[in-house]
Amino acid sequence: MSENTLKAGATGIRWFCKEHTSIAAMLSVFCGGTIGSLLRITLGFLQSTSPGAWPWATTIVNLVGAFMLGVITEWFALTGEDSGGRKVARLGLGTGLIGGFTTYGTMIIEMNTRLFTHHIMLAIGYSAVSIVVGLLCASLGIVVGTVWAHHSGNRLTKVTAFNTDSDAHAKASFVQATRQEHGDAELQITAARGGAERSTVQVRCAKGPQDVKDNTDGGSEEV
């Protein structure tokens, strides 16, 4: 398959995701969910069905899933708007792949099975590990996603700031503080009107020169 064919295919996918986001998102979730479920079932076949054994397969999928969902959610939240192809990818990976890979229902059934077969300590330990370690894995995933976003060279944050000619000093201070936070970066600030004087400002940081350009037209500015 030629490089031009691959580029044309990628362009077509991006167009479809942008113009038909809902349909593309459903297809993405379906495909991701199918893959995730098959992976979980494969691990489940390797797990002992004895009520006295630790359900390690379910433990692994839920802990890994919690970590990966934290990474995916945080990275997508910090690197761009939730629309078009990005939204389709986020739903396919998060809701589809990770959602199909993890299983809350199986975990509850396995806990009940161990309780009803008098493996009380095993049930308590299983529930404690699933919840406590699961929270730690999700938190670690968020940290990793944040670090990844910072080092990917493209980070989007949202703040609220005045966007009037009389507040030029505040805008200059805001830009300076953002540059200090992100280091050597080219900032693109787009302000959408949210009221008479206030605007919701989206800040996109991409690795590049620090040339300052001011094209303020009352509703937006690029720095």
Annotated binding site for Na(+): 99, 102
d(CA 77, CA 65): 18
Residue 179 one-letter amino acid:
R
Helix (H, G, I), strand (E, B) or coil at 17: helix
Q: What does the block give as tokens for 3?
A: 């490089």
Contact criterion met (CB below 8 Å) for 195 and 201: no
> How far is CA 159 from its chain centroid?
19
**Known binding site: residues?**
99, 102
CA distances from 122 to 3, 43, 69, 108, 135 (A): 55, 20, 27, 13, 20
Do β-strands 186-193 and 154-162 pair in parallel, antiparallel, or remain unpaired?
unpaired
Q: What are phi and psi of 20, to 5 degrees?
A: -135, 60
